[in-house]
Structure 1
Amino acid sequence: MKKILFFLLLTFQLVQSCTKVDENIYDRYSADDFYNSPTGSDVALASVYAQIAGNWGGVGYAGADNGWYDLNSMSSDEQVIPHRNTGDWQLDFVQLYKHEWLPTHLIVGNTWNWLYKSIFTANLAVEQLTNAKAETAKIAEARVLRAFFYYLLVDDFGNVPFYTENNITIENLPQKSRADVYNFIVTELSDNVEKLSADKGGQYYGRFNKWAGYALLAKVYLNAGVYTGTPKWAECLAACNKLTAGGFSLHPATANAASPLGNTYFDLFGDENPQDETILSIYTKTDIVGRNIFTIRSLLGPHFVALFNATGWNGTVTHENYVNRFDNNDIRKRQFISGAQPGGVNYSPTISSLDNPGAGREEGTRNMKFYPVGPLNGGGASNDFPIYRYADILLMKAECHVRLGDAASAKPFVDQVRTRAGLPGLAADPTLDDIYNERGFELTWEGHRRQDMIRFDKFLLAHDFKPASGAFRKLYPIPTFALDANKNLTQNPGY
């Protein structure tokens, strides 16, 4: 399955890098003829998908460091990279965790740049495919991709520069309200998701098909109250229910010595995300298409060498108070490791300091949810990354039912997720706190935590090493360089 998307991305790279493009392609086809062809339309889309795979310099949704994933994970309670008292690691991650970021923050700026580069690329694909009168589904896919990037943008930054055509200079980009951009996203998705293919896997592994489109629409509606002040729980529930026709189910969780961490549950985070549960993935092959650094970045060097004969970074940890919320019978707790490990390493769950003087070399619980698969090296592994999966959808449905005053209807959805994890169903109908907690147990390290904490009014609260935050921290600042380049922009309050 993965080979097809890889072929599309490789085709895009070859076209981009060819030194005789005019001779090989454009002397035979006009631009419209090319982008109307199956190969040309796939190249246009592959250029957009290439922005999603994680790589260096803060590029991508998830997979490498200093980008969107870190911005939306390190600012939550689920993970942090402490400065080490050995002098290792920059302070940017601790600043995110403690809510001390400024408009000049590296990862804030990287995320802004990545999202606007992605929107520019999506605008170009929409233009190319529309002008060429390409297949309706291909044009719809480009528009849905653009809506995806705008959704990530307003989620992080609120009122943002907005454009759908690339014939405008940076200094003239207008700033639109969060509500206006939200309305654009909803309209684009409502108009285009049904035009997407209903096919799963194969050439649609890692691409927006109809089911991934509805998952995105559901996410947008789920957070509508945050974006506009008007909740859309019924609309979110309706979008989730559309996925029923997609035939998704929870991937089995059974004991299996051949599976990472001893259970087939962790197949969900391996080389190829199982299609029974996974709705949208990032395809990864280290040093070719993206990379997945999450376990490599967590484990200490000698430990990683002993397991995989490559170098670990001794970076990301999870606070013991977060880990201790998990029931000991919960198979999902196996992702966290502490104590004696191969390579003569002994991880202490207790973290003494994050930044002054910093944590000790072996302090902090480590995470192996993305148990590295090959090809791998000290720069990353080849685990695919699930952007949306069915367990998330079940918990979204449960949340909508509770918020609509029907907790009894929510219970079966929460219990499905808990039972799969080896736990009993809830003793009573779920509360919002039950759902919030279950989302933390199920979706840890998958990029959802900041958004969930904001929606459940937990983001500003004090927790381990972090004091209470001002309300303005629910949004990141517009980077200083963006304000300097466009005098039309107004900075978010508090910065």
Structure 2
Amino acid sequence: MKTHLKYIITIVLSGIIISCDNSLDEKVYSSVTQQSYKYTTEDFHPAIANIYSYLRSSLDQWGFFCGQEVTGNAIVLAPNASGWDDGGVYRRMHYHTWNSEQAHVSNMWNWFYRGVLICNNVLDQIEREEIPSPSAAEKEAGLAEIRAMRAYYYWMICDNFGEAPLVIEKTSDLPAKSSRKEIYEFIVKELTEVIPNLNEEQGGNMYGRMSKWAAKATLANVYLNAEVYTGEARWNECIEQCNDIINSNKCALSDNYNASFRATGVESSKEVIFTVPFDRDYGEGNFIHMYSWHGELKKKFETEATPWGSGAAMGLTQFIDTYDVDDSRLEDTWLMGPQYAADGTQLTGTYDKKGEPFVYTKDIPSANYTSEMEGYRMNKFEVIAGSTNNSTTDLPVFRYAQVLMMKAECLLRTGQGGAGALVSEVRKRAFKEHPDKATVTDEQLKENSVYQYGYVENYKIIDPGNQESIQFGRMLDELGWEFAWELQSRRNLIRFGVFTKKSWLSHKPQGDYRSVFPIPEKVLTSNPNLEQNPNYVQ
């Protein structure tokens, strides 16, 4: 049992009154209301714990997961004989034909802004001492933590929507848009100001919270993508933040790649810098296994819940083909080949392959329909026996491996040496049986990607589309192998100029404006001060 997680989630759900400003008349069912409740110092830490609640929506297939992974070139969520079409919503994310009424777009917007609003509210309550602080030092640290988390939510808004409202205090006024650059500058300013006041503990009591190192990793990511956000690169600034984390000696790579994705023991990890904690009973939200796995896998993993139908989230053949056959991350990331029950019995198909031996195969014909056994499935996040719809395995947001890879990419982009050594350090644990393959040079990282881009029908590329060489394409490949399923694909593809240029599986380019999502239609209708993002038809 993750005792720290249990404590945090219990206090979030314990009934403390944290609300956002609104003008709706409320029906009061209790004599204790927002106005009458008298906070004490015991409410201070539970109030801060509330700011993390919306992160647990990250892996929902109706929101952020699809926005970051299914729009990318490694994972698709395709219909099959058990269903999984839902009116074509997942296919539209793969095709890049979403619109302002797409549920995924609305859900991402809502989750990010709810995170912002709860941060604003708790900041206001603590600053006004409506929620009293146990001490001046704890107040300073608490306010810094909240501001850092608010900056993280605004990074998500900036990254996914570009221009958007920048609301930093409680107000009933309808906000107008701020430019993407203004939001970027706010994020950088906030993080720079609060980092000196953040807790330097790695893991332990700061597990799943905005420590100094989590904030620096956030700032490094913002700098890494600054050219996308503002047109002006900040590679050296990213390197500086990465160096601070590296030189702190607080973080390190785990001996084994899969150690960051286990159900237990991760709380003491020196690799996991910031995470979204999940728990079967106290913190629901990690149900990737439910929408990736076939229902028969209940017998293999001895889960309490039966995965939904034959599952749908799977690897694209073109991406799977990029792996070196000796890269252990292939098996650590993807469920493949024959599948057996826990007692060794061969599993069999139940839909279009009913009665046939259950074997996950690599090749998929398109994003429009697959067999129940086609496509490698999720094997990255441990799902322990007895799991319900919710796994107790946490989602790493930032790992030390990413810090090393960010620095390596920036060294490449600035013409400095040393990128190969950093990437080789990350690769070592994936090639323990073949150490000679772990080493990669700076020059190799500058080579084109090995990914075979092109539009696929009936298992074959029939239209290669854009075949221009990708600058630092091998570096992009390295990011894909290391971080598949970790909600980074879309952002990486945009930064490397691939997202709106290349074709893969059933996706063809739909225009550069698709590098940001539209503002949800309901938001535009309710706020006349907002305009839709360019080229999206309202």
Q: TM-score, normalised by structure 1?
A: 0.89
Whether contact under 8 Å (1:349, 1:365) holds in the other structure is yes
Pairwise CA distance, 1:353? 3.3
Does residue 1:120 correspond to 2:117, yes or no?
yes
Residues 128-152 of structure 1, C-alpha deviations (whole Å, 9 max, x = no match):
1222274100000011111100100
Q: Gaps (5+ residues) in structure 1? A: 54-59, 254-264
Does residue 1:97 correspond to 2:94, yes or no?
yes
> Which has the higher mean CA deviation after the structures are superposed, 366-375 or 146-155?
366-375
**Partner residue in 2 for 1:108:** 105
1:49-60 to structure 2, matched below 5 A, reads 49-53=52-56, 60=57
Match of 1:79 among 58, 75, 78: 75
Amino acid at match of 1:230: E
Cα distance in 2 between the residues matched to 1:303 and 1:374: 11
**Partner residue in 2 for 1:455:** 495
Whether contact under 8 Å (1:305, 1:312) holds in the other structure is no
Pairwise CA distance, 1:30? 4.3
Residues 239-277 of structure 1, C-alpha deviations (whole Å, 9 max, x = no match):
111112042111002xxxxxxxxxxx2121111435221
1:390-429 to structure 2, matched below 5 A, reads 390-406=400-416, 408-422=417-431, 423-429=437-443
Cα distance in 2 between the residues matched to 1:275 and 1:476: 35
Cα distance in 2 between the residues matched to 1:152 and 1:97: 20
Whether contact under 8 Å (2:300, 2:339) holds in the other structure is no
Amino acid at match of 2:375: G
DSSP-derived class of the 1:51 partner: helix
Pairwise CA distance, 1:17? 8.3
Match of 2:306 among 311, 336, 339: 311
Instruction: Count how many residue pairs are aligned between Structure 1 and Structure 2.
Output: 464
**Partner residue in 1 for 2:3:** 3
Does residue 1:369 correspond to 2:380, yes or no?
yes
Whether contact under 8 Å (2:367, 2:505) holds in the other structure is no
Pairwise CA distance, 1:71? 1.1
DSSP-derived class of the 1:436 partner: helix
Match of 1:267 among 259, 283, 291: 259
1:21–1:384 Cα change, 3 Å: farther
Pairwise CA distance, 1:210? 0.5
Does residue 1:359 correspond to 2:367, yes or no?
no
1:159-198 to structure 2, matched below 5 A, reads 159-169=163-173, 172-198=174-200
Whether contact under 8 Å (1:154, 1:178) holds in the other structure is yes
Match of 2:290 among 289, 296, 299: 296
Cα distance in 1 between the residues matched to 2:371 and 2:5: 42
Whether contact under 8 Å (1:304, 1:311) holds in the other structure is yes
**Partner residue in 2 for 1:131:** 128
**Partner residue in 1 for 2:322:** 325
**Partner residue in 2 for 1:259:** none
Computed over aligned residues only, the root mean square deviation of the Cα atoms, in angstroms, reads: 2.1
DSSP-derived class of the 1:326 partner: coil
Residues 100-128 of structure 1, C-alpha deviations (whole Å, 9 max, x = no match):
11111111111111111111111111111
Cα distance in 1 between the residues matched to 2:279 and 2:326: 33
DSSP-derived class of the 2:408 partner: helix
Does residue 1:439 correspond to 2:479, yes or no?
yes
Does residue 1:145 correspond to 2:149, yes or no?
yes
1:282-293 to structure 2, matched below 5 A, reads 282-293=276-287
1:392–1:450 Cα change, 3 Å: same
Q: Greater share of helix residues, 1 or 2?
A: 1
Cα distance in 2 between the residues matched to 1:190 and 1:231: 18
DSSP-derived class of the 1:80 partner: strand
Cα distance in 1 between the residues matched to 2:515 and 2:406: 21
1:13-52 to structure 2, matched below 5 A, reads 13-16=13-16, 22=32, 30-31=38-39, 34=40, 37=41, 39-52=42-55
Q: Percent identity?
A: 29
Q: TM-score, normalised by structure 2?
A: 0.82
Whether contact under 8 Å (2:203, 2:273) holds in the other structure is no
Cα distance in 1 between the residues matched to 2:31 and 2:314: 47
Whether contact under 8 Å (1:295, 1:371) holds in the other structure is no
Whether contact under 8 Å (1:375, 1:382) holds in the other structure is no
Cα distance in 2 between the residues matched to 1:471 and 1:371: 37
Cα distance in 1 between the residues matched to 2:295 and 2:68: 26
**Partner residue in 1 for 2:534:** 493
Residues 51-77 of structure 1, C-alpha deviations (whole Å, 9 max, x = no match):
212xxxxxx223x32121221111001
Whether contact under 8 Å (2:272, 2:398) holds in the other structure is yes
> Which has the higher mean CA deviation after the structures are superposed, 239-248 or 217-226?
239-248
> Which has the higher mean CA deviation after the structures are superposed, 485-494 or 444-453?
485-494
Q: Gaps (5+ residues) in structure 2? A: 19-28, 134-138, 341-346, 349-357, 432-436, 447-471
Amino acid at match of 1:445: W
